[in-house]
């Protein structure tokens, strides 16, 4: 007579289907492709000297200006249709941000405040704070208002929703900035347009990510009511910091040894800013989610 | 880990309400500080005094000052402008007791026709600077000295001279700017005149 113990097998783990679109994946994909296309375009035009027919080049420049929007539609908007619980109101957020940028933000900064006219000869700290308190705050505040009052509290179900709506707003705003640049500078070639697209993407994505963290924490965490204003301040500061630094790299500065410009550094700088911003904000999101998980498991979170 | 919003569609919490309000207030305050900063930078002036000639004035701080010329005793130029640099200039010329402001204006017109391309007087009128009667001459010419290294079109310049005779010398205050932006730049000249003492 033999006796065999029943095998101790753990019950099969149920597959939990994540019902929402994974925002970080889409954002990183869009960013890498934008940086890749703009970087290659810049190198090809600056160092190889590609010459395309004028009509083709005009079309290419327009595609470059619309590149962030095209990639957002492909990787974020279409992806929403393939998940069980899609986010609603993303199109409205993007559209209204673009309209607000075209109707308020860009005219207010470029025509009324004109920071480039009176900050160009100031010292570096004055330029940083000048751009922060004018272009930076206008841009970030408009995007915040659209996200806050268009997507609103009902749309925010999980922390990542805040990122999704803030990035939609950023894409709308940067698309308008890109189009304004292309139409106001018809002589600008694809290399210069790709530099500008990268620049606008870096300040908008970095600013919106920081702002999204403030919104998410205010909605889902137990934080001070001053956190959201602080993130607005930080987002505007990033704008104020990046605009003069990038201009210093992209434009020739007059030295005793002659005029020198470092547009390639400008590409690296804009790319670095956006990747550092993604990395930092992703880290902060992971930290608070981990803290909440630990608190929930220890029973201290009610 | 999915963390659902504990209150989707419900009224906002106190923290969310205050946070939104603080954010809006902060943005408005920061924009106000930015506009104030702009006003301070664009309205910043530097003082200038020449006891030899007897003038005291304030001029825009960022403009380039030049007093080292035989043609003028004082000149400032806005070097941030592309193309023709907006210029304010003061010249002093000795005159006889019989010379009038109109004589000086005519003499200037005759000499400028020879030196400035396509120089044309638009109008000559009378006015006052403070309580001092002055002759006002508006003119235009083509400037080709934007950059000797660049092949560029000439710039149409509009100018305005204010002429007066004080203490046996003709004082000529000139304002020159690109014709397209003359009206936009003119308030700077008005501010300059308001602070001018001679």
Chain B touched by A85 (CB under 8 Å): no
Apex CA A149: angle with CA A232 and CA A101, to 5°? 65
Looking at CA atoms only, how far is residue B132 from chain A in angstroms? 34
Determine whether the interchain pair B3/A159 forms a contact, defined as Cβ–Cβ distance below 8 Å. yes
Q: How confident is the model at residue B177 (pLDDT cuts 50, 70, 90)?
A: very high
- Candidate from A58-67, A116-125, A165-174 with smallest mean pLDDT: A116-125
| A contacts of B4 (beta carbons < 8 Å) | 157-158
Please, how many CA atoms are within 13 Å of residue B118, restricted to the half-sphere of its CB? 10
pLDDT at site A117: 84
Instruction: Out of B1, B23, B33, name the one closest to residue A289 (CB).
Output: B1
pLDDT at site A167: 96
| Arithmetic mean of pLDDT over chain B | 87
Looking at CA atoms only, how far is residue B111 from chain A in angstroms? 36
Q: In this structure, how many other beta carbons lie within 10 angstroms of the beta carbon of residue A236?
A: 30
- Candidate from A46-55, A187-196, A252-261, B32-41 with smallest mean pLDDT: A252-261
Chain B touched by A129 (CB under 8 Å): yes
Instruction: Out of A113, A132, A156, name the one closest to residue B5 (CB).
Output: A156
Mean pLDDT of A11-29: 84
pLDDT at site A302: 47
pLDDT at site B101: 85
| pTM (two decimals) | 0.80
| Arithmetic mean of pLDDT over chain A | 89
List the single residue in B with minimal CA-CA distance to A21. Answer: B2
Q: How confident is the model at residue B197 (pLDDT cuts 50, 70, 90)?
A: confident
Mean pLDDT of A231-242: 95
Instruction: Out of B7, B37, B80, name the one closest to residue A120 (CB).
Output: B80
> Does A254 or B167 have the greater pLDDT score?
B167
Contact in structure between A232 and A242 (CB atoms under 8 Å): no
Determine whether the interchain pair A113/B35 forms a contact, defined as Cβ–Cβ distance below 8 Å. yes
By CB atoms closer than 10 A (0-12, 13-18, 19+), residue B197 is: exposed
Task: For residue A34, give both structure tokens.
Answer: 């934008």
Backbone angles phi, psi at B4, to 5 degrees: -75, 150
Determine whether the interchain pair B19/A229 forms a contact, defined as Cβ–Cβ distance below 8 Å. yes
Chain B touched by A218 (CB under 8 Å): yes
Q: How confident is the model at residue A13 (pLDDT cuts 50, 70, 90)?
A: low
pLDDT at B46 over 60: yes
Q: Is A255 in a helix, a strand, or coil?
A: strand
- How far separated are the first and last CA of chain A, in Å rounded? 55
Separation in Å, CA B193 to CA A162, B81, B123, B197? 55, 21, 20, 8
- Residues of A numbered 86-125 whose beta carbons fall under 8 angstroms of chain B's beta carbons: which are they? 113, 115, 117-122
| B contacts of A113 (beta carbons < 8 Å) | 34-35, 38
B45-195: which CATH topology?
Protein Transport Mog1p; Chain A (3.40.1000)
List the single residue in A with minimal CA-CA distance to B3. Answer: A158
**Per-residue 3-state assignment (H helix, E strand, C coil) for chain B:** CCCCCCCCCCCCCHHHHHHHHHHHHHHHHHHHHHHHHHHHHHCCEEEEEECCCCEEEEEECCCEEECCCCCCCEEEECCCCCCCCCEEEEEEEECCCCCCHHHHHHHHHHHHHHHCEEEEEEEEEEEEECCEEEEEEEEEEEECCCCCCCCCCCEEEEEEEEEEEECCEEEEEEEEEEHHHHHHHHHHHHHHHHHCEC
Q: How confident is the model at residue A297 (pLDDT cuts 50, 70, 90)?
A: confident
Contact in structure between A235 and A210 (CB atoms under 8 Å): yes
Q: How confident is the model at residue A2 (pLDDT cuts 50, 70, 90)?
A: low
* Tens-digit pLDDT profile for residues A164-178: 999 999 999 999 999
> Does A249 or B27 have the greater pLDDT score?
B27
Q: Domain segments of chain B: what residues?
A: 45-195
Q: How confident is the model at residue B2 (pLDDT cuts 50, 70, 90)?
A: very low
* Tens-digit pLDDT profile for residues B59-82: 998 889 998 888 899 999 998 887
Contact in structure between A38 and A194 (CB atoms under 8 Å): yes
Closest CA to A281 of A235, A243, A229, A240: A235
List, in order, residues 6 or more apart from A246 with CB less than 8 Å away: A199, A266, A269, A270
pLDDT at site A257: 56
* Tens-digit pLDDT profile for residues B90-130: 999 888 888 888 888 888 889 888 888 899 999 888 888 88
Determine whether the interchain pair A118/B26 forms a contact, defined as Cβ–Cβ distance below 8 Å. no
* Tens-digit pLDDT profile for residues A69-89: 999 999 999 999 999 999 998
pLDDT at B53 over 90: no
Q: Which residues of B touch A (CB under 8 A)?
A: 1-5, 7-10, 12, 14-16, 18-20, 22-27, 30-31, 33-35, 37-38, 41-42, 62, 80
The 10 Å CB-count burial string (b at 16+, else e) for A252-262 is eeeeeeeeeee
Chain B touched by A223 (CB under 8 Å): yes
Backbone angles phi, psi at A221, to 5 degrees: -110, 175
List, in order, residues 6 or more apart from B66 with CB less than 8 Å away: B72, B75, B76, B77
Residue B134 CA to residue B166 CA, distance in Å, equals: 10
pLDDT at A5 over 90: no
List the single residue in B with minimal CA-CA distance to A142. Answer: B27
pLDDT at site A1: 56
Residue B156 CA to residue B117 CA, distance in Å, equals: 10
- Candidate from A51-55, A142-146, A239-243, B175-179 with smallest mean pLDDT: A51-55
Q: How confident is the model at residue B1 (pLDDT cuts 50, 70, 90)?
A: very low
Determine whether the interchain pair A225/B22 forms a contact, defined as Cβ–Cβ distance below 8 Å. yes
Task: For residue B170, give both structure tokens.
Answer: 């003709």
């Amino acid at each position: 007579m033999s006796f065999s113990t029943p095998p101790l097998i753990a019950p099969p783990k149920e597959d939990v289907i994540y019902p929402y679109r994974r925002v970080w994946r889409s954002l990183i994909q869009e960013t890498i492709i934008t940086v890749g296309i703009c970087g290659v375009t810049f190198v090809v035009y600056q160092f190889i000297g590609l010459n395309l027919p004028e009509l083709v080049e005009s079309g290419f420049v327009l595609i470059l200006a619309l590149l962030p929007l095209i990639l957002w539609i492909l990787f974020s908007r279409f992806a929403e249709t393939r998940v069980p619980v899609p986010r609603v109101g993303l199109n409205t957020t993007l559209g209204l941000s673009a309209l607000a940028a075209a109707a308020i933000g860009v005219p207010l900064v470029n025509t009324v405040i004109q920071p480039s006219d009176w900050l160009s000869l100031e010292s570096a700290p004055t330029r940083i704070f000048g751009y922060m308190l004018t272009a930076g705050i206008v841009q970030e505040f408009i995007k915040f208002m659209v996200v806050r009052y268009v997507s609103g509290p009902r749309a925010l179900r999980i922390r990542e929703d805040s990122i999704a709506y803030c990035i939609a707003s950023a894409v709308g705003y940067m698309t308008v900035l890109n189009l304004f640049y292309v139409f106001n500078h018809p002589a600008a070639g694809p290399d210069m347009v790709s530099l500008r697209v990268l620049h606008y993407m870096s300040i908008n994505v970095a600013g919106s990510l920081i702002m999204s963290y403030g919104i998410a924490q205010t909605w889902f965490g137990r934080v001070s009511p001053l956190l959201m204003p602080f993130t607005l301040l930080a987002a505007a500061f990033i704008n104020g910091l990046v605009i003069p630094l990038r201009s210093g790299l992209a434009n020739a500065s007059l030295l005793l040894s002659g005029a020198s410009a470092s547009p390639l550094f400008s590409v690296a700088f804009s790319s670095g800013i956006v990747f550092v911003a993604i990395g930092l904000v992703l880290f902060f999101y992971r930290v608070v989610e981990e803290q909440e998980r630990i608190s929930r498991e220890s029973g201290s979170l009610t | 880990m999915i963390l659902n919003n504990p209150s989707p569609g419900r009224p906002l919490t106190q923290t969310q309400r205050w946070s939104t309000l603080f954010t809006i207030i902060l943005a408005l305050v920061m924009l106000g500080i930015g506009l104030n900063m702009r006003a301070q930078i664009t309205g910043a002036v530097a003082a200038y005094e020449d006891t030899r000639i007897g003038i005291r004035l304030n001029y825009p701080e960022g403009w380039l000052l030049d007093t080292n010329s035989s043609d003028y005793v004082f000149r400032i130029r806005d070097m941030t402008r592309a193309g023709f640099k907006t210029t304010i200039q003061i010249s002093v010329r000795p005159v006889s007791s019989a010379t009038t402001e109109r004589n000086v204006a005519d003499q200037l017109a005759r000499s400028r026709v020879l030196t400035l391309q396509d120089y044309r007087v638009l109008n000559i009128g009378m006015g006052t600077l403070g309580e001092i009667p002055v002759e006002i001459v508006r003119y235009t010419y083509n400037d080709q000295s934007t950059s000797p290294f660049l092949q560029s079109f000439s710039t149409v310049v509009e100018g305005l001279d204010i002429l007066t005779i004080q203490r046996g010398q003709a004082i000529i205050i000139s304002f020159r700017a690109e014709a397209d932006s003359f009206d936009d730049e003119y308030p700077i000249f008005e501010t300059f005149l308001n602070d001018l003492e001679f």
